[in-house]
C-alpha cells in the first residue's frame, strides 16, 4: 500500500486544478493527465518500483495516455467505446463525451486518494470508479459498455468480465457486442485469444497474466452453456473465431434485413422481424417476440430437435444443394422458409 503525505496530497490537488505542482509541470494544459503522472511517480515513475502495485502502475500509465488522447491504447479505448454506443444506441458518440468521461475518472481517483488520507486505491477500486464514470452520462448506463471489461483481464483482474459480460448464460448480447466492438477498434483481430493478445500488446506490459487464459476458458464455458454446442462441433471458440458478428440495437424493435455473410446474429431485447439471405451459423432472437424469414435460391429444411442450452433452442436450418450451412436458431417465436422462385413462404 502506497500512501501520499498531506503535502503531497496538496501538490496533487494543485496539479488537478491546473497548477504546476510547484514547478513539476511546465505544460499545464492537461491537468488530469499530469495528475496521473504525479500519482504514478510514487509507484516508481517511468517503471514500476520495487514492491509497487504493477497493475495500478500500468493502469495509471494507460489512463494518462487516454487523457492526453495519445497512443494506440487511447485510440482503442475511444474507438471501442464509440463502437459500443453505436451498436447499442444507434448513434455516433462525440469526442467531447469521451473527454468528459476521462476527466471524471481522474477526478474520482484523485478524490479517493484525498478522502482515504493519501492511499493510492487498489486496481479493483480503480476499476469500479472507471466503470461508473465511463457510463454515467450515457442513456443506457449499462456497465457492459465499459472498455475495462476486456482490458482489466490484461491487468490481472478478470472479475469485471465475469460480472458484467459473462454473468448470465441466458443472455449473450453483451458478449457478442463486446467482440464486435473490439473487432471494429482492432480490425486485425482473428480470434478470441488474439483479442487478448492484442490488448496485452497495446498495454505494453511484461508477461501475459494468467487471467487471460482463464478468461478464454470462461468464454468457452459461457458459449457452451448458452447454446449447447451440438451444431458447433469441436472447440466453441475455434468455431466462433471464424464467423463475423452482427448485433442489433440493444432495446429497439426493428425490421432487420441481412444480405451479407454474417455468421453470428443477435437481435437484442426488442421485438424484431429478421430476414436472412445468406449463411448464418447462429441466430439469437434475444428477449422479446421475434420472427425470422430465410430467403435463398435453394430448398430449405427446418429441423426441430431437443437441445440442452440456457438460451431456448428453436431449431436447425439446412439448405439442400449446398451453400447454406446448418444454422442454429435460438429464442424465436416464428420462423419462415421462403421460396424465392415461387415468391411465397414454403413453410412457416
Contact, 177 vs 167, CB < 8 A?
A: no
- Is residue 1, in this structure, part of any structural domain at all? no
229 and 328 share a domain? no
**Res 249: pLDDT:** 84
- Is residue 253, in this structure, part of any structural domain at all? yes
290 and 193 share a domain? no
- Is residue 343, in this structure, part of any structural domain at all? yes
230 and 329 share a domain? no
Residue predicted with more confidence, 162 or 254: 162
299 pLDDT above the threshold of 70: no
198 and 291 share a domain? no
Q: Which helix (H) or strand (E) covers residue 159, if one does?
A: helix 159-164
59 and 43 share a domain? yes
Q: Mean of the pLDDT values across residues 187-192?
A: 85
Q: Mean of the pLDDT values across residues 9-21?
A: 97
**Res 234: pLDDT:** 40
Q: Which of 212, 240, 268 is the last residue of a domain?
A: 240
343 pLDDT above the threshold of 60: no
136 and 278 share a domain? no
- Is residue 171, in this structure, part of any structural domain at all? yes
If pLDDT is split at 50, 70 and 90, which confidence band does 338 have?
A: low
Average model confidence (pLDDT) across the chain = 86
Q: What distance in Å separates the CA atoms of residue 131 and residue 141, rounded to the nearest whole number?
A: 10
Cβ within 8 Å of residue 263, ≥6 positions away: 242, 243, 244, 245, 279, 280, 281, 282
Q: Express as a percent the part of the chain with pLDDT over 90.
A: 53
Residue predicted with more confidence, 266 or 320: 266
**Res 229: pLDDT:** 63
Q: Which of 222, 240, 258 is the last residue of a domain?
A: 240
Dihedral angle at the C-alpha atoms of 126, 128, 133, 137, nearest 10 degrees?
Answer: 170
- Is residue 166, in this structure, part of any structural domain at all? yes
If pLDDT is split at 50, 70 and 90, which confidence band does 261 have?
A: low
Task: Read off the pTM.
Answer: 0.89
Q: What distance in Å separates the CA atoms of residue 100 and residue 109, rounded to the nearest whole number?
A: 14
**Res 300: pLDDT:** 67
37 pLDDT above the threshold of 80: yes
What is the DSSP code string of 236-282? HHHHHHTS-EEE--SS--EEEEE-S--SEEE-TTS-EEEEE-S--SE
162 and 304 share a domain? no
Q: Which grid coordinates are listed for 2?
A: 502506497
Cβ within 8 Å of residue 96, ≥6 positions away: none
Residue predicted with more confidence, 106 or 232: 106
If pLDDT is split at 50, 70 and 90, which confidence band does 241 have?
A: low
**What is the domain range of residue 77?**
6-240
Total domains present in the chain? 2
Q: What distance in Å separates the CA atoms of residue 77 and residue 64, rounded to the nearest whole number?
A: 12
DSSP 314: E
**Res 172: pLDDT:** 92
Q: What distance in Å separates the CA atoms of residue 55 and residue 123, rounded to the nearest whole number?
A: 7
106 and 188 share a domain? yes
76 and 178 share a domain? yes
326 pLDDT above the threshold of 80: no
Lowest mean pLDDT among 32-36, 57-61, 191-195: 191-195
CB atoms within 10 A of CB 129: 19
227 and 142 share a domain? yes
**Res 49: pLDDT:** 85
E strands, 65-220, are none
Lowest mean pLDDT among 81-90, 127-136, 307-316: 307-316
242 pLDDT above the threshold of 60: no
274 pLDDT above the threshold of 60: yes
Q: What distance in Å separates the CA atoms of residue 286 and residue 269, rounded to the nearest whole number?
A: 5
101 pLDDT above the threshold of 50: yes
**Res 46: pLDDT:** 84
Q: Which of 209, 240, 271 is the last residue of a domain?
A: 240
20 and 67 share a domain? yes
Which tens digit of pLDDT belongs to each residue from 111-167?
999 999 999 999 999 999 999 999 999 888 999 999 999 999 999 999 999 999 999
132 and 48 share a domain? yes
**Res 230: pLDDT:** 54
Among 253, 242, 320, 327, which Cα is nearest to 283's?
Answer: 327
Amino acid at each position: 500500500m502506497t500512501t501520499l503525505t498531506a503535502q503531497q496530497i496538496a501538490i496533487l490537488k494543485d496539479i488537478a486544478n491546473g497548477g504546476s505542482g510547484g514547478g513539476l509541470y511546465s505544460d499545464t494544459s492537461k491537468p488530469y493527465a499530469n495528475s496521473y503522472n504525479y500519482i504514478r511517480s510514487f509507484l516508481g515513475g517511468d517503471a514500476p518500483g520495487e514492491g509497487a502495485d504493477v497493475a495500478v502502475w500500468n493502469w495509471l500509465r494507460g489512463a494518462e495516455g487516454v487523457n492526453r488522447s495519445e497512443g494506440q491504447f487511447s485510440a482503442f479505448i475511444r474507438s471501442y467505446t464509440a463502437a459500443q454506443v453505436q451498436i447499442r444506441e444507434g448513434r455516433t458518440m462525440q469526442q467531447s463525451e469521451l473527454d468528459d468521461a476521462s476527466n471524471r475518472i481522474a477526478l474520482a481517483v484523485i478524490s479517493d486518494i484525498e478522502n482515504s488520507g493519501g492511499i493510492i486505491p487498489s486496481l479493483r477500486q480503480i476499476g469500479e470508479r472507471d466503470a461508473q464514470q465511463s457510463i454515467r452520462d450515457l442513456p443506457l448506463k449499462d456497465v457492459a459498455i465499459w472498455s475495462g471489461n476486456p482490458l482489466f483481464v490484461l491487468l490481472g483482474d478478470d472479475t469485471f468480465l465475469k460480472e458484467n459480460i459473462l454473468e448470465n448464460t441466458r443472455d449473450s448480447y453483451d458478449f457478442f457486442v463486446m467482440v464486435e466492438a473490439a473487432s471494429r477498434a482492432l480490425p486485425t483481430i482473428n480470434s478470441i485469444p488474439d483479442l487478448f493478445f492484442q490488448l496485452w500488446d497495446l498495454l505494453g506490459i511484461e508477461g501475459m497474466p494468467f487471467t487471460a487464459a482463464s478468461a478464454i476458458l470462461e468464454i468457452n464455458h459461457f458459449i457452451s452453456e448458452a447454446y449447447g454446442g451440438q451444431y458447433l462441433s469441436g472447440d466453441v471458440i475455434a468455431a466462433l473465431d471464424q464467423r463475423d458478428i452482427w448485433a442489433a440495437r440493444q432495446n429497439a424493435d426493428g425490421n432487420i434485413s441481412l444480405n451479407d455473410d454474417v455468421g453470428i446474429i443477435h437481435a437484442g431485447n426488442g421485438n424484431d422481424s429478421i430476414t436472412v439471405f445468406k449463411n448464418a451459423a447462429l441466430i439469437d432472437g434475444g428477449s422479446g417476440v421475434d420472427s425470422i424469414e430465410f430467403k435463398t435460391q435453394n430448398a430449405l429444411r427446418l429441423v426441430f430437435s431437443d437441445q440442452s442450452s440456457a438460451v431456448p433452442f428453436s431449431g436447425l436450418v439446412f439448405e439442400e444443394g449446398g451453400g447454406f450451412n446448418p444454422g442454429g436458431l435460438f429464442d424465436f417465436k416464428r420462423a419462415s422458409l421462403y421460396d424465392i422462385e415461387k415468391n411465397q413462404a414454403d413453410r412457416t
